[in-house]
Every structure is written in structure tokens, then in C-alpha cells.
Structure 1
Amino acid sequence: MSILGPIITCICLLSASGAPALGAESSFAVWLDELRTEAISSGISPETVEAALTDIEEPLPRVIELDRTQPESTQTLEDYVADRVNEKRIVNGSRMLSRYPTWLGRVERKYGVRRRFIVALWGIESSYGEHAGGYPVIRSLVTLAHDGRRSAYFRRELLDALRILDAGHISLKDLKGSWAGAMGQCQFMPSSFLRYAVDADGDGRIDIWSSVPDVLASTANYLARVGWQDGLTWGRPVLVPERFDLNLTGLEKSLPLRGWQALGVRRQNGKALPRRDLDASLILPEGPGGPAYLVYANFRALLAWNRSKAFAVAVGTLSDRLAAQQEKGKPSSRR
């Protein structure tokens, strides 16, 4: 047996056990140097690249850990929605609707997105700015871009984050967000920021971290650009009869509401479906026997924001609760 055999076996065992294999640190440094070259060649200034990447010596293990345990894949739909559509978030959402009527009105008129959906997204994403994330965005994205799971996607996001820095929208020390690189009160990924974020308050920069007008307008602009239909809701929970034909379910299938009515689908309280000329899809996010929803085109717009059906249901549910709170707060017309 060659003397190299035990050495190679030892190195492989170290790698498999989770300890860094020989040369891991140097390979990360080489990878980072290649990234610097790519960023500069794409038009990002060398000063921005060096300032952002110089002090990064290794990936963040906690970011990798969180990437493997996302709540959309570890919680039931019921628990996911209950955790996010709670009393505190409903009360605070109602306060936001009352606190910013002028800006919400402007944004609503300009983009054709009703305020309750804008505020619901704001609430689900960051609890109205209270929890926008404290991770350093550049280092988080470096970690995910270097990791093998979705490296190409996160590498593009990292380059876009460097472009945001280069444009002067925010300083490096203030560029904080989620472990996945989602930024600001509306939790835009860098590519979404470059496509959809807007300077609503007219101060010359786009600030989704501390400018509420920019947050509200950017959220509405995103939805409008991905196909939001004004005057339409997102969907509704429904009751499905026993022995229902499951071949009719799924986002790729749709029927008019009257068709679902004829098949025995009813509102959650057992009443008839609305008499509107609308097409809807029936989804069973957790399969037969689980919760059922009839969803409209705006549900698909929410999926463009976040591909998780649980996320879209949570946003829609919170928007419904906010609408109910607003209705309760209106003065009675009775004398």
C-alpha cells in the first residue's frame, strides 16, 4: 500500500467530520479574490469592492445553519400562519393604517394596490420595521454564494448588493438585513431593490431601511409590477366536500366561482361563494384533509414576492384581519 493512502484517508475523514479540509481557508481566499475581480469587471468601483470584502475571512456557519432550517419547510401551515397573524401584529397593523393615511392614500392611488395588502406585507416581513434583521448583508451573501446549495443565485444577489452600496443608497455599516440577505423593512433581496424600490419621499436616495414612504411605495410598486389587480382580493379559506375530485386542485387549474359553487365548495362558514365573475384555483397546501383555499390572480402576485404558499396565505390572512378591524372601527350609521 502506498504511503499516500493513509494521508488521503485522514484528509477525507477530516472533511467528512465537519472539520475544515486541508486548504479550505486558502480555497475560500482564492474564491473571494475571483469574486473581487468579477465585481470590478462588472463596473462596481474598486473602492466599494475592497471596503465591502476586505475584512471577510471565512463564511458564517450560522447562516448556513439557518438556510437549512427555514420555517416554511419545518412548520405546518396552521402554525406558520398563527405565528405571524397574531393579535400584536393585527393591532400594530391597524395603528400603521391610522398613522400613515396620507402616504398610504398616495401610494394606493399611484400603484393600484389597496393599503391593507401593503401594510400586511410590511407586517409579515418585518413587524412594521421592528424586526428588519441585524445580519451584515454582504457577509451573509458571501457565505451563501460560497456555499454549494444555491451559489449562482446568491452570487448574483451579492453583486447587486455591491451595486447598491456603490450607488450610495446606504453605507456598508448600515447595510443590515436577514441571514439570507433580505434588506430593509420590506425585506427586498438586492435584485428586487434594483428592480422595484423607489424614492417616494424625494430625498435623492432609496431608503427602505428608515423611510416609511419609500417602504410603502416600494412594496406597492413591486406588487403592481408583478401583476396585482386592483379591486380583487387574494382568496379565501373554503370547505371542500368529501370525495372531492383532487384532479381539479392546484394553481395550474381554474374554474369560475359558479363552477366551484356547483361542485359543492363553500365559504369557511358554510355559506355560498360570492356571485362574481371570477376565475379561481383551489389549493390544498398540505394535501387532502388539510386546509383548502380558493385563490385569485393576486395570490400569484404574492407568490412572485415569496414562492411559499404559507407566506402568501399569511399575508392574505393578515390583510383580511386588518380589513375586519377597520370595519369594526367605523362609526355606525344607525341613529
Structure 2
Amino acid sequence: MKKLLLAALSLTLASPVFAQDKDFDQYVESLKEQALQQGISESIVTQAFADVNYKPRAVKADRNQPEKKLTLDEYIPRAVPEWKVKQAKELYKKHQAELTRIGEEYGVQPRFIVALWGVESNFGKFTGNYSVVDALSTMAYDGRREAFFRKELMSALTILDQGHIKVDDMKGSWAGAMGQCQFMPSSFINFAADGNGDGKKDIWNTKADVFASTANYLSQSGWNDAYTWGRQVKLPANFDMNIEGRVEGKQKSLAEWSKLGVTRFDGRPLPKLDNDIEAWLTAPDQADGRVFLVYNNYNVLMKWNRSYYFALAVSHLADRIVFD
């Protein structure tokens, strides 16, 4: 028994000190120490944490995310209502010259840049009003995903240290997603771009930077502007749904899908391409819901947000911008 007690005590002493074992002010001191150790300037650390506050609303938002699963037919009209389609078309025309320039530079069709802008933040209207430092410090302290949020906080401090935004202006969602394209700080570090050549990457206020950052994310993630995202299709009776799924090994060429009886949604044959493209069959609501053949560009949208519904909402809006 004594050996067991000693072993248990040893394990306890060796265990890390969890965020919840400290009060918030003590925890913030550990964040400051980490930031300084990682090379963030002392002045930025002092400014960033000068008025840091614990935000219980952020924790509540994280724990109370919707449990009800909408069908795709319920979700699309909510994510892409008619008024948003109208605004998207107007903004596409208004910024067409700039979008075309950026689209050509990064190899991304401008309609997808606008569609992501619209679905993510309603074209910059809803970007979140939390201090990003407050939100990330709170979420790290909460402890459920401490390592993830500590890493994002260090990235946010790096952005401040690089001078892209001032502390008071660094606003975002309860989870720390920032600006009009709702980048997490690590995504900003990896993909944010200076679209207007002023030396800063301002995804909060500068539309050229928002467009360029969005395009750069897609481009670096494998986007190919020679193709679209995919298409809704129709299946023949008694189709084998075991071959459905967006996983490696289940992709087939359009010619192969055609041989299996898959057609466009209106019943016409699938396109015949000189260089056939691989596609995956996906049915987010199972076979009795909408069914799609998706290309690698759709996989890229899934890297941005791992929701099938999100990627389909963006794709739907992008199509309606130019094809309606």
C-alpha cells in the first residue's frame, strides 16, 4: 500500500499544472512569460495584457453551440438568403477590377473570394467585437483546448509585434477568429497578404488585403482555377452508396461516374473534358438528400472550414454570383 501511495504521489508531482489550478491573473502571468520567451517584445506584451479580462460569455458560447442538425435544404437558405446573393453580385461588380487583379495573381476565381467574404462575415459587417487577446486568454484558461488557444494567442501577439494592427483594434469572435475573412491568428501568420502594397496585412479594414489573404489561403491550399468546385448530380435507381465519401481511393473520373449512371441534376450527361478530372461523390444528408460530385477545390474549401454545409454554402453563393 505504501508503494502505491508513493507512486500516486510521484505521478501527482510530475503532472502539469492545469489552467484551472490557477486564478486568471496568475494564468495571465504565465502567458506573459511564454510570450517573452518566444521573442515577443516586452512593450507589446505589456500593452496586450494591460487590460486583459476574463470573458465568461466566450466560454458559454463555446459550450453552448447548436446541437440541432439542420438538413442542407434548411441550412442553405439561412446561410445564403436572397438578400445576400443580391449584395454579393453588387459587391462583385463594385470591386471587379481589384478582384480580377488579385484573382489572376493568385489563380483563384473572384466569385469564390466574394462568396467566402459573404458567408464568413456578411461582407465585413459581422467580424466580432471581442478583444482577441481577451478571447484567446479566456479560452486558454478555460482549459478544454488549452494548447490550441495558447498557440493562437502567441500568434496573435506576433501579429501585434509585426505592426499589422494595434492592440485596441485587434477585434474578433469569441474564439479569436479575426477580421473580414475570419482568420485565426495562425492562419493570418501563414496566409495573410498585403493586397494594396502598403506594407501591412489589414484583414479588418482593407478590402484589398481581405481579398488577397483569402485568395492566398486558397492558392497555397491547392486551388486550381481551371476548374470549379463540383456540381449537384442525380443518381440512378439502386445506386451503390458504399462508394460515396470524400476519402482517398473513392475518387473517380467524370467518365467513370458517367458509366455508373451518374448524371447532372437535370438528367443531362456529365461534362466530357479533354483532361478528365477526379471527383468524389458526397451526400451530406445521405442518399435521400442532395448528392454532389466534388472536385479538389471543394476539398480546399473544407480545409478552410471542415463543415460540408459551409463548403456547399460558399459554392452555392459563388455559382449564383455569376450564373444566375
TM-score by length of 1: 0.85
1:44 alignment partner, one of 40, 44, 60: 40
Separation (CA, whole Å) in 1 of partners of 2:68 and 2:41: 39
Residue by residue over 1:73-95, the C-alpha shift from the partner in whole angstroms, topping out at 9 and shown as x without a partner, is: 74333222221211111111111
Separation (CA, whole Å) in 2 of partners of 1:79 and 1:258: 32
Q: Which runs of 5+ in 2 are unaligned?
A: 1-18
Match for 1:34: what amino acid?
A: S
Q: Map 1:133-282 onto structure 2 (within 5 A).
A: 133-252=128-247, 253-276=250-273, 277-282=276-281
Q: Which residue of 2 aligns with 1:3?
A: none
The structure-2 alpha-carbon separation of the partners of 1:64 and 1:79, relative to structure 1 and needing over 3 Å to count, comes to farther
Separation (CA, whole Å) in 1 of partners of 2:165 and 2:97: 26
Q: Map 1:303-322 onto structure 2 (within 5 A).
A: 303-322=302-321
Q: Which residue of 2 aligns with 1:292?
A: 291
Match for 1:91: what amino acid?
A: K
Match for 1:245: what amino acid?
A: D
Shift of 1:241: 2.8
Q: Which residue of 1 aligns with 2:4?
A: none
Separation (CA, whole Å) in 2 of partners of 1:26 and 1:153: 19
TM-score by length of 2: 0.88
Separation (CA, whole Å) in 2 of partners of 1:258 and 1:30: 62
Q: Which residue of 2 aligns with 1:56?
A: 52
Residue by residue over 1:147-198, the C-alpha shift from the partner in whole angstroms, topping out at 9 and shown as x without a partner, is: 2332211111111011111111111111111121111111111111111111
Instruction: Return 46-55 or 155-164, whichever deviates more.
Output: 46-55
Aligned: 1:95 with 2:90 = yes
8 A Cα contact 1:63 1:143, kept in partner: yes
Separation (CA, whole Å) in 1 of partners of 2:134 and 2:59: 12
Instruction: Return 23-32 or 251-260, whichever deviates more.
Output: 23-32
Shift of 1:304: 1.2
Shift of 1:71: 5.4
Shift of 1:308: 1.1
8 A Cα contact 1:72 1:308, kept in partner: no
Match for 2:304: what amino acid?
A: W
Residue by residue over 1:198-230, the C-alpha shift from the partner in whole angstroms, topping out at 9 and shown as x without a partner, is: 112111211111111111111111100000011
8 A Cα contact 2:228 2:297, kept in partner: yes
Shift of 1:128: 1.1
Separation (CA, whole Å) in 2 of partners of 1:162 and 1:74: 36
Instruction: Return 129-138 or 187-196, whichever deviates more.
Output: 129-138
Instruction: Return 113-122 or 47-56, whichever deviates more.
Output: 47-56
Separation (CA, whole Å) in 2 of partners of 1:155 and 1:182: 14
Match for 1:167: what amino acid?
A: Q
Residue by residue over 1:108-157, the C-alpha shift from the partner in whole angstroms, topping out at 9 and shown as x without a partner, is: 11111011111111111111111122121111111221223322111111
8 A Cα contact 2:20 2:141, kept in partner: no
Q: Map 1:17-32 onto structure 2 (within 5 A).
A: 26-32=22-28
Cα RMSD after superposing both structures: 1.9
Instruction: Return 132-141 or 73-82, whichever deviates more.
Output: 73-82
Match for 1:95: what amino acid?
A: E
Match for 1:56: what amino acid?
A: V
Q: Which residue of 2 aligns with 1:105?
A: 100
Q: Which residue of 1 aligns with 2:110?
A: 115
Q: Which residue of 1 aligns with 2:300?
A: 301
Q: Partner of 1:173: helix, strand, or coil? A: helix
Q: Partner of 2:232: helix, strand, or coil? A: strand
8 A Cα contact 1:72 1:80, kept in partner: no
The structure-2 alpha-carbon separation of the partners of 1:71 and 1:222, relative to structure 1 and needing over 3 Å to count, comes to farther
Separation (CA, whole Å) in 2 of partners of 1:65 and 1:244: 44
Q: Which runs of 5+ in 1 are unaligned?
A: 1-22, 326-335
Match for 2:28: what amino acid?
A: L
Q: What is the number of residues matched between the two proteins?
A: 302
Separation (CA, whole Å) in 2 of partners of 1:129 and 1:163: 23
Q: Partner of 1:38: helix, strand, or coil? A: helix
Match for 2:46: what amino acid?
A: E
Separation (CA, whole Å) in 2 of partners of 1:46 and 1:101: 43
8 A Cα contact 2:254 2:270, kept in partner: yes
Shift of 1:25: 8.8
8 A Cα contact 1:145 1:152, kept in partner: yes
